[in-house]
């Protein structure tokens, strides 16, 4: 019997099991961030008055690096001075960025 390799259809074959083939499936989760706005106030962690980014983070299930569907969305406030990150509700994020629109 020969060594394992690719058959004529591009499928990797196992040399130990006759007629078997191995399929490779690549899947995972990808996180993307969108800046909804930037607000200024005093950070409760570092005490600096500065810009805070309001972000929307979306997690998506991917198959072969192609995003298929959303598996979760969170909203985050990030201080640009100390990088402190605090999770927000969707309503809090909308209220914080409403004045910017």
> Quick check: 18 pLDDT over 80?
no
Q: What is the spatial distance between Cα 99 and Cα 58, in angstroms, rounded to a whole number?
A: 23
Q: How many CB atoms are closer than 10 A to CB 88?
A: 18
Q: How many CB atoms are closer than 10 A to CB 89?
A: 10
Between 99 and 42, residue with greater pLDDT: 42
> Quick check: 52 pLDDT over 70?
yes
Q: What is the spatial distance between Cα 98 and Cα 87, in angstroms, rounded to a whole number?
A: 18
> Quick check: 92 pLDDT over 50?
yes
Name the residue ranges covered by the structural domains of the chain: 29-98
Q: What is the spatial distance between Cα 25 and Cα 42, in angstroms, rounded to a whole number?
A: 48
């Amino acid at each position: 019997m020969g060594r394992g390799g690719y058959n004529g259809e591009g499928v990797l074959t196992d040399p130990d099991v006759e007629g078997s083939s191995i399929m490779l499936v690549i899947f995972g989760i990808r996180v993307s961030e969108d800046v909804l706005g930037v607000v200024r106030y005093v950070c409760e962690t570092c005490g600096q008055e500065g810009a805070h980014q309001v972000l929307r983070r979306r997690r998506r299930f991917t198959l072969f690096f192609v995003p298929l569907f959303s598996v979760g969305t969170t909203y985050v406030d990030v201080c640009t001075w100390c990088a402190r990150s605090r999770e927000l509700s969707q309503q809090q994020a909308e209220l914080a960025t409403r004045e910017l629109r």
